[in-house]
Every structure is written in C-alpha cells, then in structure tokens.
C-alpha cells in the first residue's frame, strides 16, 4: 500500500457510520462531540457551517467538512435558524447507514453526515498537522467532488447494491479528503510537515520503502543513497518534514504494524517479531513494551477482551 493508505489502515478500529440527512428549511442541526473523526458533505441544496468558535461559513454543493477530533459543530440553512440535536434513526445491528429527516415548508437539502473510527492511542503523525476543522471546496478537489456526486446519486433513492456501494464511497471519501488537504498544503512554499514529506520525491520515496519493508535492517546511509542524497542531507530533510529521525520513525512504524497484527491476527509472537524486523521474540517483546507499556501477549489478551465486551 502507499503510505497514506497504509497509515489509515493501521489506525482504523471499526467501520464508518453515516446518516443520509434530508432537511427542509428552516432547519438547524447540532452535532454532539463523538469519539471518532466526523465528516459532513452537502449533496443538494444549501448549508451553513457553524463552528463552535468563529464566524458561520457558507457551504456549496460538493463541499466537505472534516472534524478531526469529532468536536461539536452545527449545520443550518441559515445562521439564525434555531438548532436541534442531530439524532439518526435507531441503528440496526451491523448497519452503517442511518437516516435523519427534518420536515419543513422550505427548500430541500440533502447531506451525508458521519464518523470514522480511528484509534487515538497511537495516532499516525500524518494527522498531527491536520486542522481541527477542515473545509474542502468542491472546485479545488475534482476527485473528491466526483465521489460526492456519486454519493448523492446513490442516496437519492433505494437501488440494488446500495448497502455495499455507499459504505465503500464513504471509506474512499476519507482518503480523498486527506489527499485534498495534502495537495492543498503542498502548494504552500515551503510545504509543511507530512504534506511536504509525502510530496517530496526523496522523502516520499524513503517513506514508501520503510512501509513496504519494515522488517529490513535499514540504515540512514542506505535510505539516503536510494533517495539520491548524502546521509546527512537525507537525515536532516527527513527529520525536518516527518518530525523525527528516519530510524526513530521506523521503530514507531514497526510497533504500529505489530500492534495491528496482534489485534487482527492469531499469528504467534515469533512470527509477528519477524514480520517487523526482530530476530528474537525476546527483543521484540522488549521493544513492544517500551512503546506500548505492556507485553505483547498481554496486549493481545486485553484487546480481545475489550472486543468481546463491546460485542
């Protein structure tokens, strides 16, 4: 996988949930803070984004809002419209698409609002630069706008395969939102942080190498040579953009991959150790405990127990 897809896959802890939200003016919806990363897309009609701090912002059809920490936010047909709490219809077991209807005498608008479940215990540093509230305009992100158009068409009426198509589009939406943010950030001079890292030919290539083969005994000199830079120049540029030295990031990524393998597979600890570059189970367990604070076997048992309790 590419680095962005890989990073999100490592952070995902569950399916995205979203609600088809059909409203008629006058309408105003208050979204309570939730544990996930929330999003709101205007598919038809008109809408104002009402952040908890700051002035109201008009949204156009195709515009997308992402709230990184799922903080409270509101949407309305007009900034002066009174707000009501957003309450989707009761969820069925396994359901990923809900519904909200707000009746009224005025203009109809259609939105999709939802949340992505992303782990917060070890968030990928890629998201550290992401603003708490991100608004992407349809005209600046054509690929995102095309996906929003497809979502709007799918949600207008019940069609065969809708329960498979809509969740897939919602999942793709997150990658397209982040891509749009990265590309917009990369147009700044100089491009900051991870957006700069992913679009920098040398550092982006090195990150791909580390993600493709985390078990390899990488050296800074080898990574620099593959990127066409001296060891010192590569280390300096990598650290400036990624926020930590190359081998520090490699260790962090190895432990992130190991945590995912322990959560999602029953592979023995020796196999997990080899997968992330440790020749012995003892060395792996020591490194894992340094990162997570507990031994890998205990981590696996506690994750399994938590999943069983939640289910």
What domains can be seen in the chain, in order of their start residue?
A: 3-186 (2.60.120.280), 200-311 (1.10.10.60)
Whether the CA torsion 123, 184, 77, 20 is positive or negative: it is: negative
pTM summary value: 0.86
Confidence (pLDDT) at 95: 65
Query: For residue 112, what is the enclosing H or E element?
Result: strand 108-116
Q: Is the peptide bond before 26 cis (omega within 30 degrees of 0)?
A: yes
User: 27 Cβ partners below 8 Å, 6+ apart?
Assistant: 76, 77, 81, 102, 104, 109
112 neighbors 61 (Cβ within 8 angstroms): no
Of 80, 81, 68, 92, the closest CA to residue 23 belongs to: 81
252 neighbors 263 (Cβ within 8 angstroms): no
115 neighbors 17 (Cβ within 8 angstroms): yes
Per-residue pLDDT of the chain (311 residues), as tens digits, is: 689 999 888 888 778 888 889 999 999 999 998 888 999 999 999 999 999 888 999 999 999 999 988 889 999 999 999 999 988 766 666 667 778 889 999 999 999 998 888 877 778 888 877 889 999 998 888 888 888 888 888 877 778 888 888 888 888 999 999 999 988 888 876 666 888 899 899 999 999 999 999 999 999 999 999 999 999 999 999 999 999 999 999 999 999 999 999 988 999 999 999 999 999 999 999 999 999 999 999 999 988 887 777 65
Torsion, Cα 294 295 298 300, to 10 degrees, reads: 100
Confidence (pLDDT) at 1: 60
How many residues are given for the chain? Answer: 311
């Amino acid at each position: 996988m590419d680095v962005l897809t890989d990073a999100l896959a490592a952070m995902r802890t569950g399916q995205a949930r979203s609600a088809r939200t059909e409203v008629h003016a006058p309408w105003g919806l208050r979204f309570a803070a939730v544990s996930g990363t929330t999003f709101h897309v205007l598919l038809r009609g008109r809408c104002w984004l009402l952040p908890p701090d700051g002035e109201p912002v008009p949204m156009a059809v195709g515009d997308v809002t992402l709230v990184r920490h799922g903080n409270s936010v509101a949407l309305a047909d007009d900034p002066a419209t009174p707000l009501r709490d957003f309450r989707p219809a009761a969820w069925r077991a396994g359901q990923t698409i809900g519904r909200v209807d707000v009746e009224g005498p005025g203009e109809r608008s259609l939105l999709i609002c939802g949340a992505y479940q992303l782990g917060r215990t070890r968030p990928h540093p890629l998201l550290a630069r992401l603003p708490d509230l991100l608004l992407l305009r349809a005209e600046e992100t054509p690929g995102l706008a095309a996906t929003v158009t497809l979502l709007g068409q799918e949600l207008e009426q019940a069609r065969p395969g809708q329960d498979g198509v809509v969740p897939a589009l919602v999942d793709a939406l997150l990658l397209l939102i982040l891509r749009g943010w990265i590309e917009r950030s990369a147009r700044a001079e100089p491009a900051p942080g991870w957006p700069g890292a992913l679009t920098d030919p040398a550092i982006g290539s090195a990150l791909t190498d580390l993600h493709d083969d985390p078990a390899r005994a990488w050296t800074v000199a080898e990574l620099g040579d593959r990127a066409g830079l001296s060891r010192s120049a590569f280390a300096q540029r990598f650290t400036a953009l990624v926020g930590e030295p190359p081998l520090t990031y490699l260790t962090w990524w190895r432990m992130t991959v190991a945590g995912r393998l322990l959560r999602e597979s029953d592979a023995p600890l020796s196999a997990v150790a080899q997968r992330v570059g440790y020749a012995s189970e003892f060395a792996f367990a020591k490194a894992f405990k340094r990162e997570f604070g507990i031994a890998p076997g205990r981590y696996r048992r506690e994750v399994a127990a938590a999943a069983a309790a939640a289910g």
